Amino acid sequence: MSSVLYQLIYSWYLLVGGIVTFYLPQANYYIEGIMFPMNSGDLGIYLGVILCASLIPFNIELAKKQHQFWRYLALGMPETIYWIVLNIEWRIYGLENSKSWPIPGIKEIYTLFGILFGFAITLMLFNLLVSDFSEDLIVAIQKISWLVYPLTGVLTVLIFMLDGLLAAFFTLLMIPSGIGIMFIIIEVGLLFGERVPKVITIFVMKNHGNKELHKAQGQVALALGVVTASVGFFSSVFAYTIKNALLSWNIISQSFPIDIGYLLLQWGIIFLLIGITTVSLGVYRFTKKLKERDSL
């Protein structure tokens, strides 16, 4: 598994997946003795996200009918309950001493629970976005998930030819679940870019009594997006510089259990993506307002 293409896919997957999973031998699948770089439950969640997103356009009305709290609870509760059980076990025995899962074969069940949880997240985000944006736009975003299948197929075949069956199987799992993670980040970015500027403008409007301020939502989104993207860019570019500074100031020690530099890098990328999404929304709303003004 040494081709440049596979190393790029694997490095990208570690980067986008590392912040949303944990690496524990008992929780991960093994293929020919090599541990898959995401635990079984989280793998199920992000596969579920892509699967659900690709199914929504086929029955939009059915997806809308699922917008009820008890339905999300029913889909997400199995994964949540077992996650709590695992954490209780690990707190009692410790991560290193917890040699087995409470129930044999639970990794497969945990993946299934994760898929259901992924459905819950995707349906909830879809219905929240539909309430803020046009239905056609949000459905179009869901249809982007259809590209995952041919992309996964092509890359899996290429990796099979370059690196063999094991690398191809890893690729088959990494591409859809990795894109599932990015799907969630971008959709959260859309909600952030729409709702936070709206709250800010409404707050200012109520406190200052300026009835025209609601028109400034685009500018607020643009400014908020620039700040968020800048924080993300700074955090990702200077992640290890910040880590070294924290070490030199004795704020953290070398034995600190989390790699702060890697954490800052990953969260920086997430903030950068959310910021870019928010800037895009701000530009759209700002230019729309200018067009409306020019048409008067």
Alpha carbon distance 279, 284 (integer Å): 8
Domains of the chain, residue spans: 4-184, 212-295
pLDDT at residue 152 in the model: 93
What pLDDT shows up at residue 57?
Answer: 93
Query: What is the reported pTM?
Result: 0.82
Q: Choose among 43, 52, 110: nearest CA to 82.
A: 110
Burial environment of residue 104 by CB neighbours within 10 A (0 to 12, 13 to 18, 19 or more): exposed
List all residues 6 or more positions away from 164 whose beta carbon is below 8 Å from its beta carbon. Answer: 1
Alpha helices in the chain (DSSP H): 4-17, 40-55, 60-65, 69-93, 106-132, 135-143, 148-163, 165-208, 217-237, 239-248, 260-295
Residue 294 CB neighbour total at 10 angstroms: 7
* DSSP-assigned beta bridge partners for residue 28: 39
How high is the pLDDT of residue 255? 67
The 3-state DSSP class for residue 212 equals coil
Helix (H, G, I), strand (E, B) or coil at 3: coil
Cα angle 235, 175, 166; round to 5: 115
Quote the distance between the C-alpha of residue 268 and its chain's center. Answer: 13
- Between CA 218 and CA 226 the distance in angstroms is 12
Q: What pLDDT is attached to residue 55?
A: 93
Burial of 115 (0-12, 13-18, 19+ CB in 10 A): buried
Nearest to 1 by CA among 185, 184, 158: 158
Q: pLDDT digit string (tens) for 216-241?
A: 777 788 888 899 999 989 988 888 88
Q: pLDDT tens string for the chain (296 positions)? A: 578 889 888 888 887 776 666 666 677 888 878 888 888 888 899 999 999 999 999 989 999 988 888 899 999 998 888 777 776 766 666 555 545 555 555 788 888 999 999 999 999 999 999 988 888 888 988 998 999 999 999 999 999 998 888 899 999 999 999 899 888 888 888 888 888 888 887 777 766 655 555 567 777 888 888 999 999 899 888 888 888 888 888 777 766 656 777 778 878 888 888 888 888 888 877 776 666 665 65
Say what the pLDDT of residue 295 is: 61
How much is the pLDDT for 201? 78
- Give the pLDDT confidence score for residue 20 in this predicted structure: 64
Q: For position 150, what pLDDT does the model report?
A: 93
Q: Length of the chain, please?
A: 296
